Amino acid sequence: MPKLTIDELAKMRDRTRRTMVPREGGEFRAKINVHMGTCGIAAGARGVMTALLEEVEKRSLQDVLLTSSGCAGLCSREPMMTVEMAGRAPVKYVNLDPAKAREVLDKHVLRGTVVREYALGVGSEKTDV
């Protein structure tokens, strides 16, 4: 039976808290919105979402919010996602696949450099969630 010590209690708190971040509201460093219309899903948006989720989990990112929304109206360029860094204009990425999505997360979200070769444009729609 794992009887806790006071340090282990604190560790349990930190470990579990990480998984509960989405429930707490508050501010996020970045929001990544994967477009999940029928067109997006057909073009492989689910794989993009899975890859991002794996990265977020692997890197224990507590301030990156993953969300989904409907078709963005540019079905020929799916899968797409919108990256919105706090206080910055959102950037739309097009024709993604899991590897490209991981790259965007690494370069844009974590290091602040927009990956221009996958980007459609800067300053389009904002997401609410």
Partner 1 sequence: MAEVATQKTYRLHLMVCAGTGCVSNHAFEIKTALEKEVKKHGLENEVTIVPTGCNGFCERGPILVVQPGNIFYQQLSVKDVPHLVEEHFLKGRPVAKLMYVPPAEKTPVPVLSDIPFFKKQVLIALRNRGLIDPEKVEEYVARDGYKALAKALFEMSPEAIISEITRSGLRGRGGAGFPTGLKWQLVRGAASSNGGGKYIVCNGDEGDPGAFMDRSILEADPHAVIEGMVIGAKAIGATAGYVYVRNEYPLAVARLGVALDQARSFGLLGRDILGSGFDFDIQIKRGAGAFVCGEETALIASVEGRLGEPRPRPPYPAQSGLWGKPTCINNVETWANVPVIIDRGGAWFAGIGTATSKGTKVFSLVGKINNTGLVEVPMGISLREIINDIGGGIPGGKAFKAVQTGGPSGGCIPKEQIDLPIDYESLAAAGSMMGSGGMVIMDEDTCMVDVARYFLSFTQDESCGKCTPCREGTKAMLDILTRITEGKGKEEDIVLLQDLATAIKDTALCGLGKTAPNPVLTTLRYFRDEYEAHIQRRKCPAHVCRQLNVYTIDPERCLEKGKGCDLCRRNCASDAISGQKGQAHAVLQEKCIKCGVCADVCAFGAVKVD
Nearer to partner 1, 38 or 113 (CB): 38
Phi (first) and psi of residue 16, to 5 degrees: -75, -35
Q: What share of the chain is helix, strand, coil (3-state, %, to 5)?
A: 45, 20, 35
Nearer to partner 1, 41 or 109 (CB): 41
Question: According to the binding rule CB under 8 A, does residue 82 interact with partner 1?
Answer: no
Please tell me the count of residues contacting partner 1 according to CB under 8 A.
40
**Which range binds partner 1 by CB under 8 A, 47-55, 89-97, 105-113, 117-125?**
47-55
Question: According to the binding rule CB under 8 A, does residue 65 interact with partner 1?
Answer: yes
User: Which strand ranges, in their side-by-side order, compose the sheet holding 91-93?
Assistant: 64-69, 30-35, 81-85, 91-93, 119-122
Q: Which helix (H) or strand (E) is 64 found in, with range?
A: strand 64-69
Question: According to the binding rule CB under 8 A, does residue 27 interact with partner 1?
Answer: no
Question: According to the binding rule CB under 8 A, does residue 98 interact with partner 1?
Answer: no
